Structure formats: structure tokens, C-alpha cells
Amino acid sequence: MVKSFILFFILVWTGLQGFSQLNMPVCGPYSKFYNKDSVNVVSFGASTVEGFGEARNFQSPLKAFLGNCYIGRTITVTNNGVAGETTSKGLLRFDQVIAQKTGFLLILMGANDAIQIADGAARLSTTLANMRLMIERARTANLNVILGTLQYFTEIPGNSPAARLYQRRNRAIDQINNGYRSLAKELGIRIADINNVIGKNRQLYTDDVHPNARGYRIISLVWFDALNQDIIENYLSPGVVQNFPNPANSFTNLGFNLPSASRVKVSLYNLFGQRIAVVFDDYRNAGYHQEPISTELYAAGIYILSYEMLELRFSRKIVIAH
């Protein structure tokens, strides 16, 4: 028994280490400008959210992805999935789940509604009304809501009664997802389009609706992208990154982030504090920018790049070597 437990622990730990060391998604430069001390994520839904232990869930890889990019920040990803629930049942516990929570709320719920809709036991309007209530309550609680589209049921080839049943369920999935997209647009929240990425790829499923380990990892990538997009839009501070290449020979790239449109002026100073040149002076919109500048006209040596933007100043050392 003890040996089995130890083996299980090693396998789980190795898997988690793999998430933190291998096949990590690309970290954008925006992660350096995130203006919060933590990334707090609450996941809410039914069985796909609940997952199947450490072997199959999206929360573990998602936490590893965030930790790999948002270095130095506290990362929390909580699991609030209950298998078998419809949106009506989920709504009954929703307020308790979001109470005193901060950060981001990921909602993935409605597959059980699709089963009932396909059977004629429920209405699409009820599902969408329930989801609207969840979104509105979460926004009142100052949570950033990201709504996931539902993955399909795996279909059976042919025209048997079972095949037609799964076709009806997937038509209900399409109706719900279209409704979710419209809700997201109306209420101004972000969509994580899981359905569009996974589609009907049977190789990503372990049964008729639940993802396998690879499918869950792909879902975590979709959530990760949606979270990053929300952070870029709402939680970035102005700042600069180290120019590259550095040392610079004939050119180097300036990297800076703007939370709003601004004039950006970059001057080159020597170590005596004398301004040698203005190497960049232009207006840029909100977002991360990378601007190449020539260094061919300047003598080899150590200089300071001084950035002026949004009434703030930043500086970085640059080495020019010909």
C-alpha cells in the first residue's frame, strides 16, 4: 500500500514538473508589465470543470502556465466543478462560490443542459437566462468573467437511434454556444472558444463528452490565452524592457508597453549625462511595441537609453560594440 502510494505521488509530481518545465506556451512580454501581485482564478462548472483528479483536469496545467510567465506573482486556481449539474443547479450555489473572491472567473457549464434540451426536457432560453444571471452577479462582485464555449459530444457514425441522439445533443451545443457568444458580446465579457479549438476531434476525448489528458491540456491553453488577453486589456502598467541585441552592433530593438496612447521619446545619453541623440520620438497606441533603431552612427561604448512616456521616465543601459 505504501509503495503504491509513493509510486502514485512520484507519477503525479513528475507530471506536474513536466507542466512546469516542458511544452510551455510562449510568454509574451506583457507578463512583465502585469500590475497585480497575484493572478487569482476561480473555475466554475460541471464535470468537465471538476475533472478527474490530477490525471485529467485543466486547472493544474493552467496554474503551471501562469506561474511560468507571471514570475514572482502568487498564482491561485480553484476548482468549483460539480459533476452532473445543469446551469439551473449551478446557479443555486453560484453566489456562495464567488463570495469574497477576486480576480478572474472561468465559467464552463451547459453540457448537461444540452442533454435535456435534446430530450425536450428543457429550453435553451432557460440556459441562457441562467448564464446571464451568473455573469451579472459575478460582474457585480468585480470578477473578470471569461465564458467558455462547450465541447461537442462525440458522434456515432450512421443513422441509428443512438447516432441521432448525439446529433441532437450537438445541435443543442451549437445553440447554446451561439447564445453564449451573443451574451458575451452584449455584456462585454471575453469568450474562451474551447469548442472552436477542440471541435469533433475524437482523439481528444476519453468518453462521449469528457476530454482526455491531451484534451484537457488544450483546454488549459485556450483559457491561458483568454486570460492573457484580458490582462493585456485591463491590467498592464507602462514600462520598458531591456533593448536587444545588447551589445548592439548596427541596430537594436526598443521594447515598451503603453496602457494608453502616448508620445514616446527615447534619448541616448553617455555616462557623463550628456544627451547624444534622440533615437525615437513618435506616438503609439496602447499595447506592447518593439521599435528597431540604428546604432551605426554612435561610437562604441556604454550609454543610457532614457524613455519619456505618459509623464514617466524609464532608463536602460545599452552597450554599443562595432
End-to-end CA distance of the chain: 66
CA quadruple 143, 144, 149, 150: dihedral sign: negative
The alpha carbon of residue 238 and the mean position of all alpha carbons in its chain are separated, in whole angstroms, by 21
Paired strand residues for 255: 241, 290
Q: What is the C-alpha separation between 314 and 305, in angstroms, rounded?
A: 8
Rounded to the nearest 5 percent, the helix, strand and coil shares of the chain are: 40, 30, 30
Paired strand residues for 253: 244, 292
Q: What is the C-alpha separation between 255 and 95, in angstroms, rounded?
A: 42
Residue 232: helix, strand or coil by DSSP? helix
Angle at 140 (CA atoms; ends 135, 146), nearest 5 degrees: 35
Contacts of 169-172 with C-beta under 8 Å, sequence gap 24+, read: 169/114, 169/115, 169/118, 170/114, 171/118, 172/113, 172/114, 172/115, 172/117, 172/118, 172/124
The alpha carbon of residue 1 and the mean position of all alpha carbons in its chain are separated, in whole angstroms, by 39
Structural element, H or E, at residue 313: strand 312-320
Residues with Cβ within 8 Å of 172's Cβ and at least 6 positions away in sequence, in order, are 113, 114, 115, 117, 118, 124
Residue 170: helix, strand or coil by DSSP? helix
pLDDT digits 0-9 by tens, 219-234: 999 999 999 999 988 8
Residues with Cβ within 8 Å of 91's Cβ and at least 6 positions away in sequence, in order, are 130, 133, 134
CB atoms within 10 A of CB 194: 24
Q: Please answer whether residues 147 and 104 qualify as being in contact, where contact means their C-beta atoms are separated by less than 8 angstroms.
A: no
Q: What is the C-alpha separation between 297 and 232, in angstroms, rounded?
A: 36
The alpha carbon of residue 294 and the mean position of all alpha carbons in its chain are separated, in whole angstroms, by 36
pLDDT string in tens for the chain (322-residue length) = 433 333 333 333 334 444 444 489 999 888 989 999 999 999 999 999 999 998 899 999 999 999 999 999 999 999 999 999 999 999 999 999 999 999 999 999 999 999 999 999 999 999 999 999 999 999 999 999 999 999 999 988 889 998 999 999 999 999 999 999 999 999 999 999 999 999 999 999 999 999 999 999 999 999 999 999 999 888 999 999 999 999 999 999 999 999 889 999 999 999 999 999 999 999 999 889 999 999 999 999 999 999 999 999 999 999 999 8
pLDDT of residue 195: 98
Q: Please answer whether residues 299 and 321 qualify as being in contact, where contact means their C-beta atoms are separated by less than 8 angstroms.
A: no
Q: Cα-flanking dihedrals φ and ψ of residue 26, to 5°?
A: -65, 135
Arithmetic mean of pLDDT over the chain: 92
Angle at 123 (CA atoms; ends 118, 124), nearest 5 degrees: 90
pLDDT of residue 18: 43
222 CB-contact burial (10 Å; exposed 0-12 / middle 13-18 / buried 19+)? buried
Q: Please answer whether residues 74 and 38 qualify as being in contact, where contact means their C-beta atoms are separated by less than 8 angstroms.
A: yes
Instruction: Name the pairing type of β-strands 104-108 and 144-148.
Output: parallel
pLDDT of residue 7: 35
- Tell me the residue ranges of DSSP E strands in 120-236: 144-148, 190-192
